[in-house]
Structure 1
Amino acid sequence: MAGIAGAPQFAFGQSTNGKTFIKVFMRGGADGLHLFPAYGDTAYYQHRPNIAIEGPGSGVNSAVDIGDSYRGMNPNLELLKEIWDDGRMMVSPSTALDEGNRSHFDNQRWIGVGSRNNLFDGYLNRYMQNIAGPDHPLRGATLGKFSISTEIRGEISVPAVPNNNNFNVRNTSLCGDGCTELTQLMREISSHEVDQASMEGTVRENQIVMLDTIVEIQRAGTDYTPSADGLVYSNSDIGRGLRLTAQLLKAGVPLEVAAMDWNIGWDTHSNQIANGANRFTDQNFRYHSNMRNGASDFVTFYRDISDMIDDVVVLVGTEFGRTVKENGNNGTDHGHGGAWFAFGGPTVGGVANDIVSLEEDQLLNNRYVPTVVNYKDLVAEIMVRHMSMPENLVSTIFPEHAFQNQNLFTRVG
């Protein structure tokens, strides 16, 4: 039976047992070979004579040693080494939507819905439609930005919450400083009987979600200091999103799925490195400083929710990687396989299945990193291993996809 647009559609009998899945999108096509350089491959330096990052131990511009003879970590991500050394972070360096192309807009949309069928709801929304969860306005949300991410958009209405101060509804002619009277008045207006099959019914459902969200954000408070040993969240989209997530979880909000963005200018067709001696680490170069700030936000979040990190998985991905070969502008163009990484929950630390070599005969069309791990398998494994979703529902979340368990989220305890 068709449900009311915007109303929760539950398959009762399953639950997530208090777990949270956070999906972070690096929009723009992040260069996986720059985030996690293949310093152990001589072809890497042949393809990138100017922008290749040297292996560990070569100075301030060298890759961070992650205990792998082939892969290192960009020096601007060095703070993530704390999570890596705890065995709570993995990188899947050759990951993509296998049937994707090299269009930002197409790939972002197709990854969000899990298919080249643009009529599908986002995969996080489909998850909520098929798994019973709490009747709560913040069961799922986009956090840190104004727009609803494709992954979480769909039949179940979810809010977009840029920060915890964006719901200051006030009208002094109707109420005082607390303004609870105005919120209650708005709720009463939204609750009148309407024809639920009409557009008015859809507006009503979404308005109630918005009002309930205001209540929950206000309950969590507007003042918040992270427990992160001196680290603080930045005021970027990812910093605000992670800060709000920590605050909501600590306030007892049953947030199950959240979507947010980490945008620093990943579309590096030119000027991927700085000029001068510190061409990979110069913090006056915004690409570097923004990358370092993002890494700091992730570690701040990791420390901030240390007592509940077993219950939270963060998955970071992008729409595609970049070309293996640098172009003539010290940059890289749209490619295919890119680097995704995750931390927290049952994440098994280390490097996932990877390319064998960057020699041209091992590349897709002689210039792109091929897909070794389909991103759908990462998402599905988190849903199955972390969120306790029955494996037979993977084909509902990702129609026509044959799930291949990568054994990347099997940590116990």
Structure 2
Amino acid sequence: MQKRILLIIAGGIAAYKSLDLIRRLKERGYAVRAILTPAGAEFITPLSVGSLCGERAFTDMFSLTDEADIGHIALSRQADLLVVAPATADILAKMAQGHADDLASTALLATDKPILVAPAMNPLMWEHPATRRNMAQLVADGVHVVGPNSGRMAERGEEGPGRMAEPLEIVAAIALALQGNAGQAGAALPLAGRRVVVTSGPTHEPIDPVRYIANRSSGRQGHAIAAAAAALGAEVVLVSGPVSIPDPAGVTVRHVETAVEMLAAVEAALPADVGIFTAAVADWRVAGEASQKMKKTGAAPKLALVENPDILATVAKRAVDRPRLVVGFAAETENVVAYAKAKRQRKGCDWIIANDVSHATGIMGGDNNTVHVVTADTVEDWPDLPKTEVAARLVARIARLFQEDRP
């Protein structure tokens, strides 16, 4: 049965993401109605929201036309889940205190259905004691929460927690919130019943108690892939190295530090249908970690290095429990496609996602990525895209492969 979402769009710059959220939900077969608050309508128009939903956006609690047609009580009662995205500090405060002075807050109060909020606000507003109290009350009341993420804000120079979760993260949280409520939301999703293992981020290989070998990987691409796979109904295990970004919703996360720990966590997560190895694993580690901090003596220490386990090749060449599809990533600074083709054959994986991580591109740690999808037969060159969109396209390609029932 088609799941019905009532999306409440409050007033914040993140409202533009709600348009993409509607599109993502419609692609996955959800029915979406939307309430646009007066402040939300200052950022996006009722026409754009209604066009994507396939019916008009609701804006006015005292509209004679709307009340005669459906009524504000029925609007919330007919939904399977209410989603507030963006959830501003103002609407969170109204929800926590039980206010009902407009259409959005009234719909939220007059429902017995689950509610999911995606907070979005300035970092100081998010960290204010009043907001923290309101959030604690909402969680105690059983409200589901996704995000917020940390990062750069719309205000110049502002950075910190308060960015609304990305649309695919919210889609995954919606599927999770709907579990156990009149059936499984993911039952009709293309990766439902599939198990996906994803690695993400860097590894830290200790030299002594305070120093380590690492790289600039942020984990954004791997985390986005995990969220996208969960959004399409997969059971996802994310094995993450040390990162500063939050765990994606609807995903089982295993936190590790070193390459040896990452391999062990991956093998423990098998069997799986798909393995996606996005992590930038350190190639080497020191032969023996110093038990005490190494002191400067005027001469550089001589570090004996040994190779780390090759996680991608180890899994791709397994005789037992090899995932049906093994996808690797190749971060290169030159001859990107040629090196990726050679790596795919050498590692024994099915696909390689190659990208240029030379210093000038800003890929490592950035928000965008430009990739080439290398298979046994083809090379697809994708344009520069947000990492969330790269993830969505890649997971959609994987879903098509399984729907066609080809290895």
Same topology, TM > 0.5: no
Tell me which structure has the larger Cα radius of gyration: 2
**Higher relative contact order, structure no. (Cα contacts within 8 Å, ≥ 6 residues apart):** 1
Query: Counting strand residues as a fraction of each chain, which structure ranks higher?
Result: 2
TM-score under structure 2 length normalisation = 0.31
TM-score under structure 1 length normalisation = 0.31
